[in-house]
Amino acid sequence: MSVEDLATIRYLTTTSFGFGASALLGEVLTELGIVRPLVVTDPGVRAAGIADRVVADAEVTWFDRTPPNPTEAAVLEATEMFRVAGCDGIVAIGGGSSIDLAKGVALIATHPAPLVDYAAVNGGVERITARVARTVAIPTTAGTGSEVGRAAMINVGGRKLDFMSPHLFPARALCDPALTLDLPPFLTAATGMDALTHCLETYLSPLVNPPAEAIALDGVRRATRWIERATTDGHDREARWNMMMASTEGALTFQKGLGAVHAMAHPLGALEGLPLHHGTLNAVLLPAVLRFNEPAAPEKLAQLRQVVGAEGDLGSWVAGLIARLGLPSGLAAMGVPADVLPRIAAEAERDPATETNARPATRADYEELLRFSMAS
Ligand SMILES: [Zn+2]
């Protein structure tokens, strides 16, 4: 860190956090002046009755077909429903996919097509204006923290693209840990590892933002302390509260930039015919990246080891945690074929998250990290 660098520090979304927060939806919609909301959710959350319980008797239009990784086709389908029903705002109820898809709708329902023009890699950040439709985000997992984030990951033409703008922050977030009580163990562990990865990668990012680093450390402390309890006993309210807080903190902090784990998880998550879970990908990629970053940030890694109580290197500690959580031991176990690795490495090098990795990573570095992560 240098005192000569300019820091950008942004905390915008008003968040109501705690058991019962989702019951504030009606009040919040009135406050925002939204009378005809489009509710964006996924088939699982709808089938479990969670979304209907949150919406209660409010009059809404439903889009409940969010795919596991949001695609442009799904965004356009939901946007059509938004237009036909004359909607004036969006309520996203679900995991990161539903919230990201909602951000895509909020954007393209109010801006000229095509969606791809607004991707960060295409210079889209400047094109996204205050016209973006207002969104109330209600997470049902504790992982992405997308409810307080300014980014959406959407698969456009086989590439997972990052859409980023301060205008994409949801207008309000209602974080209700009660909605996560019945999340199955595997999803609890995988999404929780996403939250932990956000905190770890952000803390190690070289950009200057001390408040973000303080939030990241608190998130690491909560996630590592509670993830096993939340996974083994889903109805532990204290564990669920802390994991949701770690998730929200992860997204509050990651404006400071992510790193090599996310740079590889993004192209891997876009592999056709292989719907790989983002959090699980992060989990299996973490040990190799933490070891790779060690020489570039020895003091920060020492601090992290202290926070989690690791004896040896942090990569090995994380690998142990992943095994205890019952997550896959590597990319090979997730079904990733070795022949895609060179292409993934090339895409990882181009991913915006690469720029803020603690240690500069080349395409060759990425190939090595990926090979190592096949079985870590
Ligand atoms: Zn993530």
CA of 232 to the centre of ligand 1 (A): 22
CA of 253 to the centre of ligand 1 (A): 12
Instruction: Return the percentage of the chain with pLDDT > 70, whole number.
Output: 98
285, pLDDT greater than 80: yes
pLDDT score for 5: 73
Burial 293-324, CB ≥16 within 10 A → b, else e: bbeebeebbeebeebbebeeebbebbbebbee
pLDDT score for 270: 86
Residue 26 to residue 116: CA distance in whole angstroms: 34
Confidence of residue 58 (pLDDT cuts 50, 70, 90): confident
CA of 35 to the centre of ligand 1 (A): 32
pLDDT score for 82: 98
How confident is the prediction for the chain on average, in pLDDT?
95
Confidence of residue 2 (pLDDT cuts 50, 70, 90): low
376, pLDDT greater than 90: no
Global pTM?
Answer: 0.93
- What average pLDDT does range 35-55 have in this prediction? 96
10, pLDDT greater than 80: no
DSSP readout, 280-347? HHHHHHHHHHHHHHGGG-HHHHHHHHHHHT-SS-HHHHHHHHHHHHT--SSTGGGT--GGGHHHHHHH
CA of 262 to the centre of ligand 1 (A): 6
The pLDDT tens digits for 254-280 are 889 999 999 999 999 989 888 899 999
CA of 354 to the centre of ligand 1 (A): 14
Task: Considering only CA atoms, give the Rg of the chain.
Answer: 19
7, pLDDT greater than 90: no
Residue 103 to residue 250: CA distance in whole angstroms: 18
CA of 55 to the centre of ligand 1 (A): 27
The pLDDT tens digits for 155-177 are 999 888 999 999 999 999 999 99
CA of 279 to the centre of ligand 1 (A): 6
pLDDT score for 3: 64
368, pLDDT greater than 90: yes
Confidence of residue 25 (pLDDT cuts 50, 70, 90): very high
The pLDDT tens digits for 217-233 are 999 999 999 999 999 99
CA of 235 to the centre of ligand 1 (A): 24
pLDDT score for 62: 98
- What average pLDDT does range 226-246 have in this prediction? 97
6, pLDDT greater than 80: no
CA of 96 to the centre of ligand 1 (A): 9
- What average pLDDT does range 295-303 have in this prediction? 97
